[in-house]
Chain A
């Protein structure tokens, strides 16, 4: 809680390999962002203006994955300068869409596309922040929602730990009154194995969840993959369901590998 006369908490927003969509969750807060700015000092947030990457911060939000040698050095400096580090978004929590290269011939791709591949300094694997430094809280999603960001900031300002939402997308889907699309349309929805937080955006539009919020606790990927097969998905299509935005999240990775073995076997 802010006490009058004491300095406002210092908040930094850092970016690594990512599309900037999670930073937009801040910027899209609109009026709420102005209210937030009254309660905290935004000391570093390149996309919004303030530039001071090596400054001390009470809360550092980190978007993006570790993808280049320079990233590894920079995240260590950020950790040293931050009291609390919050990883936001699929890139920061699971390596992101760019982690699809982890299982591929990434060097071969670079050589096939670029005339000077030697100019590209990228690591063989794209990895989440927590693989390299201590992360105090992870906010999953691609992108995270403004509502989630506010809930985390609010909790920290009030001096309590942020709430980790362990619900499945289905829970929010039903609260919103959306009929289940797996049942009413027979489409392969990832909702039953995916974390809540998006407000069931895709099922609300009559389409399938594609798992961008990452695996939920007790995700029964075997049962869901079996149901996808019954719905007519071939093994390759089942692999693709799990190997998407969060391909390197261990639960989805294992599910994709298992479905892949069925394809190859």
Chain B
């Protein structure tokens, strides 16, 4: 973020609404943090002044509680239950429709989402790292996902540096945060009296230019840098390495899988909140008149029954094999597929597991103790 300090500008606190106003003027629907059902979620802002201050949440394994920031900052919260994923990879949508005409012939009609320009304000470094992984999956050459691409291209991302990581965060150990390094249009670091702003795209540059901001001072840039370093140092969880492929694949019969299976509900929450998980199911939903049928794609989970169902048998009949599939795909075989681990250290799988299973604790146990 601070690799080109000469390009960093300063946005005074009181001018934050003007950034939102500029995005709205450019036709973006702006999403910002809001409290809903006991969590921080991204919701559309009704006005440039609509960004909420003081939101914060306390996180622990299996626990998420809204609190408020004593300093009333805009971005002193670490994250909510979802990253950018629902904005690009829709939880449920029809991909195409089959239609039967009067003569009995069939026609197949692609269904594309309406193009809606969206700006997400408050994206974290881990979210951006995860988005890059999702891009690698959904936009790969020759297998470009039309629905994903349409939403992705209409996205404007306003990242923020994390100043207050949650107890569940470990992005410093995966190398993905807490200061955004790439993938944003604009990136903000919140200081006491305003934001150090860096642009990361032509569109971001144009938005920043329209705000007519002064350059950030050397002291402001240094304060932002120090804030990022402090946020990294404040993280208490970590993974024992960034490439655990070989060691994890050598532990497929480790007794720890049985121990975690006894605790795991196989509810799939970890996969739903994981910003890199991309598994989906497809099903045909015929209309009652017998003339049309929608081909529906929905988020799926390797913890569900149907995910491992092949003709005549299930390759992952129990919770042990499902948890093992999730963890070894995420942290081991993901390297073969995407050239990196599938974990960006956001900690959502830890906080949003109803029984508080801690990925970092499981990995440590699997890696440290050899097989029997």
Contacts and interface: CB of A to CB of B under 8 A. Distances in A.
- The answer on A and B forming one complex is yes
A176 B81 CA distance: 12
Interface in B340-354: 351-354
B215 interface: no
A17 interface: no
A174 B268 contact: yes
A174 B354 CA distance: 13
B265 A184 contact: no
Contact of A183 (B306, B318, B354): B354
B304 A166 contact: yes
A21 interface: no
Contact of A166 (B269, B272, B286, B306): B306
Contacts of A179: 36-39, 41, 64, 80-81, 352
Contacts of A220: 262, 264-266, 319
Interface residues of A, number: 44
Contact of B306 (A151, A167, A185, A191): A167
B288 interface: yes
A152 to B, nearest CB: 12
B288 to A, nearest CB: 5
Nearest to A187: B38
Contacts of B305: 166-167, 217-218
B62 interface: yes
A31 B306 CA distance: 32
A251 to B, nearest CB: 13
Contacts of A224: 265, 354-355
Interface string B300-319: 11001110000000000011
Interface stretch (A32-40, A55-63, A132-140): A32-40
Contacts of B82: 177
B130 interface: no
Contacts of B299: 171, 174-175
Q: Most B CB atoms within 10 A — which of A175, A186, A191, A226?
A: A175
Contact of A223 (B41, B263, B268, B351): B263
A7 to B, nearest CB: 16
A241 B1 CA distance: 51
B265 A180 contact: no
A208 to B, nearest CB: 11
Given A179-B81, A206-B37, A191 B352 contact: no
Interface in A160-190: 163, 166-168, 170-171, 174-186, 189
A150 B285 CA distance: 10
A72 B39 CA distance: 50
Interface residues of B, number: 46
Contacts of B210: none
Given A218-B319, A224-B265, A227-B354, A35 B288 contact: yes
Residue of B63, B269, B318 with highest tally of chain A CB at under 10 A: B269
A167 B276 CA distance: 21
B268 A170 contact: yes
Contacts of A166: 304-306
B94 to A, nearest CB: 14
Contacts of A123: none
Contact of B63 (A32, A163, A183): A183
A120 interface: no
B68 interface: no
B255 interface: no
B113 interface: no
Interface string A207-251: 000000000011010111011000000000000000000000000
A154 interface: yes
Nearest to B300: A171
Given A36-B288, A182-B62, A177 B86 contact: yes
Given A174-B299, A218-B305, A180 B352 contact: yes
A117 B65 CA distance: 53
A11 to B, nearest CB: 13
Given A218-B305, A227-B354, A180 B269 contact: yes
B289 interface: yes
A157 interface: yes
A2 B288 contact: no
B55 interface: no
Contacts of A227: 62, 354-355
B283 interface: yes
B267 interface: yes
A222 B81 CA distance: 26
Nearest to A176: B91
B239 interface: no
Interface of B: 36-39, 41, 62-66, 80-82, 86, 91-92, 262-269, 272-273, 283, 285-286, 288-290, 298-301, 304-306, 318-319, 351-355
30 contacts: A35-B288, A35-B289, A150-B288, A158-B286, A168-B304, A170-B268, A171-B272, A174-B273, A175-B92, A175-B272, A178-B37, A179-B64, A181-B38, A182-B62, A183-B352, A183-B353, A184-B38, A184-B66, A186-B63, A192-B265, A192-B354, A218-B319, A220-B264, A220-B266, A220-B319, A223-B262, A223-B264, A223-B355, A224-B355, A227-B355
Q: Which 8 A-B pairs have the closest CB atoms?
A: A174-B272, A184-B38, A166-B305, A179-B39, A192-B265, A170-B267, A192-B267, A182-B354
